[in-house]
Structure 1
Amino acid sequence: MVTQRAAVAVVFIVNGALYGSWAARVPALAAQVHAEPAGLGLALLGPSIAMIVTAPLAARACAAWGARTVLRAALGGACLVLPLLGLTGSPLTLGVALAGLGGLMGTVDVAMNVAAVAVVRRLDRPLMPFFHAGFSAGGLLGSLGAAAAAALTLLPAEHFCVVSAAGLVTLLLTVRALPGERPAPEKRSAAGGGYRQVVLRGRLWLLAAVALCAAVAEGTCAEWSALFLVRERAVAEAAAAAAYSVFCVTMALTRLVGERIETRFGPYRVLAGSGLIAALGLITAAAVPVGPVAYAGLALAGAGLAFCFPTAMALAGDAGRREDGGGGERELGFVTTVAYAGFLGGPPMIGGIATLTSLTVSIGLVGVLTALITPAALALRGGRSGTQAPHAARELQDAGRGAGDGTA
C-alpha cells in the first residue's frame, strides 16, 4: 500500500518530470512554430505569468476542497494539456498552451506543498527538503527523457503523449494515498476570507523575501550560468551546457540529506547558513576568473539554495497552522506567489544589468542579494510566534543545552 509520504514524493517527481520534459524540448517547439527569439521569449512568459495568477487561487481551492482534490484535478489536467504543446503551429498558440500548462502546474506546486506540510505535521519530521529533492529528480528525469526523445527524432507531440500517459497512470496509482481530505463545511466556510490578514503579516513577508531571493538565484543559475561561462570564462559551449547540471545535481543530493541536517540544526539556522553558502558560491564564481572555480561556485550555490525554498514553504505552512492541525494554505499561496515573481522577473533583470555592465557583475550582485537570506532567517528566528513547527519545537527543547533559543 502506498504511504502518504510516498504519494506526496511521487507528485513532486511527476511535476518535476512534466517541467523537465517540455523545458528541454523548447528548441524543437521553437522550430515547430517557426518562432524568432523575441516571439519565443514572449511565449515563454505565459507559464510564469499564469503561475503568479493561479497560486493564490490554488491556495483558496486547497483551503476549501483539500489538497488531494486539487492535485487530482490540476495534475491530471497538466498531463492532458502537455500533448497540446506538440500540436501548436504558431508562437501565439504555443504561448496560450504554455500559459494553460503553467497555470495548472502552478496550482500543483501550491497543492503539493500543502500536502507535504500535512505529512510533515503528521510524521513530526522535517521532510520538506526530501520532497523538493523529488522535484529536482523529476526535472532531471524529464530532461533525460527529452534528450532520448530528441535522439530518437520523436516529434514533441509523440514525446509528450508518452510523458502524459506515464503521468496519468502514476497519478491514478497514488492519488488515493494523498493527504488533504475535503474539509468539514464549517472549515470550508472559514476558508472564504482572511487573505488580507495574511498579506499584512510581517513574518510572511520575511519568508516571502527568502523565497524571492532563492528564486532569483535559481533562475539566474538556470538561465545565465552557461552564457556566463562561455563569455566571461572562455569555456567551450558544450562544457558550459553542463554547468546547470552541476548545480541541479548538487541541489538534489543536498536535499536528500536535508532531514538529518534540519533535525540537527533547526530550520532557522539552516536557512541562515544556506544563504551564506549560496552567496559565497555565486560571489566566488564571479570574483575568481577561472573556469573550474566557476563550476565549484555553482555547485556550492546549489548546495546552499537546496534548503531555502522548501524550508520557507514549511515555515509558511506553520505560520497558518490551526489548533486542529490544519491550515496554512493561504500562507503557502502568498509566499509561492512572491517566489514566482522572482522566477519571472529575476532573469530579465540580470540581463539588463549585464547589458549595462557584464555578466560577472550580474552574478556577483545576485550573490549579494542571496546573502540577504541570512538576516531574514535570523529575524524570523528572533520573532517567531504562534504555533511552532515540530522541528522548531525541538530547537526550543535544545535551549537548555545551549543548542537553541526560546520563542518570543
Structure 2
Amino acid sequence: MPSPRLAVFVVFVFNGAVFGSWAARVPALATQVGAQEGTLGLALLGASVGLALTAPFAARVCAALGARRVVLASGVASALVLPLLALASTPLHLGLVLFLLGSSIAALDVSMNIAAVGVLRELDRPLMPQFHAGFSFGGLIGSIGAAVAAAASWKPLPHFLVAAAVGLLVLLLVHRRVPGESGERDREVAVGPQPTVLRRPVLWLLAGIAFCSAIAEGASADWSALFLVRERGMGDAAAAAAYAVFSITMAVARLSGEPVQRRWGPYRLLIGGAVVASIGLATAVVVPTPASGYLGFALAGLGLAFAFPVVMDLAGEAGRRADGTGGERELGLVTTVAYTGFLAGPPIVGGLAHLSSLTVSLGVVAGVCALMVPAVWFAARSRARELAATPPESVPARP
C-alpha cells in the first residue's frame, strides 16, 4: 500500500494529467466545433462558471465528509467527463461540458490541497511544492499523450477514452491512503468558533497572488499550442509540445521546492518567480521565432512553479490554530479565487485575441505576472502585522 504522502502525490498527478490531456488538444477541439479565438474563449468560460459555483462549497463538504471521499468522487467525475469533450459539436456544447469539468476539477483541487496539508502537518515539512510538482508531471504526461495522439492522427474521442480509463485505474488504486477519512465537525466544536476568513486582508492578498499566477498558468496551458500554430506557423504535434516544455520546467523546479523555500523564504521566492515568469511570457510574444516560444514558455513554467504551492502553504499557515489544526476555510477561500483565475484567464485571453491578436493578449498576461510583485510585498507586511498583534501563546509552532 502507498504511504499517504505518495497517495496524495499521485492524486495531484492524476489531476494534472486530466487537465493536460484536454488542454493540449484545444486546437483540435476548436476545429471540431468550428470556433475562432473569441468564440472558443466564451466556450472556455463554461469551465470558469463551473469552478466558481463549486469551489466555495468544496471546503465545507470536505469538513463534513472528509477530504478522501471528495477526492474520490470528484476524481471519478473528472475522468468520466473528459471523453464528453470529444462529443461536443458546437461551441455551446463544448462550454456546457467544460462547465461539468470545471465543477469536478474545483472539488478535486480543494480536497487534494486539504489532504496535502494533512500530510505536511503530519511530517512537519514544507512539501507543498513537491505535491504540486505532481500536478506538473501529470500535465506533462497528459500533454505528451496529446502530442502522441495528434501525431498519430487520433481524434480526441479515442484519446480521451484511453486517458480516462488509465486515470480511473490509478485513482482507485491509491484513494484509500489519502488522508481525511472522516469529517471535522467534532474537532471544530471542541476548539470553538474561528474568525471569518473574509475579514483578513492577508488572505485576500494571497488569493490575489494565486489569481494572477493562475491566469498566467491557465493561459499558457490553453493558448500556448494555438499561439504557436496560428502565430508561429507550427504543426499541431510540435505546438502541443510547448505545454510539455512548460510542464517540465515547472515540475523540475517544484521538486526542489523544499530546500529552495527553506533557503530563500516564501515571499522572496514568490517575487523572484513573478519576475522570471513575466520575462518568459514577454520573450515568447516579442521574439517572433518558434524557438523563442519554447524558451519563453519554459521560463514561464520556471517562474510560476512556486507561486500556487507556496501561497497554499502560507494560507494553511495563516489558518493554523494553536493546537496545530485548522486551515480548511483559508485554503478554500484562496483556492476558490485562484482557480477562478486559472479557468477565467483563458477566456479573457480569447476575448483580447479576438479584438487584437494572441500575441497582444499573451503580452497582457506577462503584465499580470508583474502585478504579483507588489501583491507579495503587501501580503508579507499584512501577515507581519497579524503576527505582531497575536498573543505569543496563540501562535502555532512552525518548523
Q: Does 1:76 align with 2:76?
A: yes
Name 1:312's counterpart in structure 2.
311
Q: Which moved more, 1:77-86 or 1:302-311?
A: 77-86
**Equivalent residues of 1:63, 1:191 under 8 A apart:** no
Q: How many Å separate the matches in 1 of 2:130 and 2:358?
A: 33
User: Residue 182 of structure 2 corresponds to which residue in structure 1?
Assistant: 182
1:406 maps to which residue? Answer: none
For the 8 Å contact 1:315–1:389, the answer to whether it is kept is no
Deviations 1:137-182 (A, max 9, x none): 1122122223444555655444433333322222222112111131
TM-score calculated relative to the size of structure 2:
0.84
- Within 5 A, what are the aligned runs for 1:141-156? 141-150=141-150, 156=156
1:338 aligns with 337
| Matched positions, count | 388
Higher mean Cα deviation, 96-105 or 349-358?
349-358
3-state DSSP class of the match of 2:324? coil
Work out whether 1:116 is the aligned partner of 2:116. Answer: yes
Listed as ranges, the matches of 1:323-402 within 5 Å are 323-351=322-350, 353=352, 362-384=361-383, 385=386, 393=398
In the alignment, what sits opposite 2:234? 237
For residue 237 of structure 1, give the secondary structure of its aligned residue in structure 2.
Answer: coil
Output aligned runs, 1:204-353, within 5 Å: 204-225=203-224, 235-238=232-235, 242-285=241-284, 292-293=291-292, 295-351=294-350, 353=352
- Cα-to-partner distance string for 1:238-289 (whole Å, 9 max, x where unaligned): 4655444332221111111111211222212211221222223334555666
- Is the contact made by 2:62 and 2:183 (CA closer than 8 Å) also made in structure 1? no
Q: Which amino acid aligns with 1:203?
A: V
Q: What amino acid maps onto 1:341 in structure 2?
A: T
Q: CA deviation at 1:355?
A: 6.2
Say if 2:44 and 2:347, in contact at 8 Å, map to a contact too. Answer: no
- CA shift in 2, pair 1:237/1:331, >3 Å: same
Closer, same or farther in 2 for the Cα pair 1:360/1:68, shift >3 Å?
A: same
Contact kept in structure 2, 1:279 and 1:301, CA below 8 Å? yes
Whichever residue aligns with residue 77 of structure 1, its letter is A
Task: Report the AA paired with residue 164 of structure 2.
Answer: S
Aligned counterpart, 1:19: 19
CA gap of 1:190–1:277, structure 2 versus 1, over 3 A, is farther
Q: CA deviation at 1:332?
A: 1.5
Unaligned stretches of 5+ residues in structure 1: 395-408
- Runs of 5+ consecutive residues of structure 2 not aligned to the other structure: 388-393
Match of 1:400 in 2: none
Is this contact kept in 1: 2:64–2:184, CA < 8 A?
Answer: no
Contact 1:70 1:108 in 2 (8 A): yes
Superimposed CA distance per residue, residues 300-358 of structure 1 (whole angstroms, 9 cap, x where no aligned partner): 22211100011111111222223343322221221122223323443444455566666
- The 10-residue stretch of structure 1 (372-381 or 9-18) with the greater mean CA deviation from structure 2: 372-381
- Cα distance in 2 for partners of 1:189, 1:11 equals 30
Larger deviation, residues 109-118 vs 157-166: 157-166
Indicate the structure whose relative CO is greater, using CA pairs within 8 Å and at least 6 residues apart.
Answer: 2
Deviation at 1:7, TM superposition (A): 0.3
1:402 maps to which residue?
none
Residues 25/355 of structure 1: CA separation in 2 closer, same or farther (3 Å cut):
closer
Name whichever of 110-119 and 169-178 sits farther off: 169-178
- C-alpha separation between the residues in 2 aligned to 1:25 and 1:227? 9
Is the contact between residue 144 and residue 244 of structure 2 (CA under 8 Å) also seen in structure 1? no
Deviation at 1:295, TM superposition (A): 4.0
Q: Does the C-alpha gap of structure 1 residues 27 and 223 become closer, same or farther in structure 2, counting only changes over 3 Å?
A: closer
Q: Which letter does structure 2 place at the counterpart of 1:325?
A: G
Which stretch shifts more, 102-111 or 178-187?
Answer: 178-187
CA contact (8 A) 1:64 1:191 kept: no
CA RMSD of aligned residues (A): 3.3
Please tell me the residue identity of whatever aligns with 2:378: A
Shift of 1:190: 8.6
Query: 2:106 corresponds to which residue?
Result: 106
Match of 2:390 in 1: none
User: How far does residue 211 in structure 1 lie from its aligned partner after superposition?
Assistant: 0.6
Query: Judging changes above 3 Å, is the alpha-carbon distance between structure 1 residues 95 and 349 closer, same or farther for their aligned structure 2 residues?
Result: closer
Q: Which residue does the alignment assign to 2:43? A: 43
Residue type at the aligned position of 1:46: G
Change (3 A) 1:84 1:367: closer
Q: Is the 8 A contact 2:68 2:178 kept in 1?
A: yes
Change (3 A) 1:359 1:17: closer
Verify the 8 A CA contact 2:139 2:247 in the aligned structure 1.
no
Hey, what's the Cα distance between the residues in 2 that align with 1:30 and 1:230?
12
Q: Where does residue 139 of structure 2 map in the other structure? A: 139
CA drift of 1:71 comes to 0.7
User: Residues 237, 30 of structure 1: CA spacing in aligned structure 2 closer, same or farther, 3 A cutoff?
Assistant: closer
**What's the secondary structure of 2:125's corresponding residue?**
coil
User: For 2:196, what is the secondary structure of its paired residue?
Assistant: helix
TM-score, normalization: structure 1?
0.82
Which stretch of the first structure deviates more once superposed, 266-275 or 336-345?
336-345
Provide the C-alpha distance between the structure 2 equivalents of 1:133 and 1:389, rounded to a whole number of angstroms: 27
CA distance in 2, matches of 1:348, 1:184: 37
Aligned AA (2:259): R
| Equivalence for 1:9 | 9
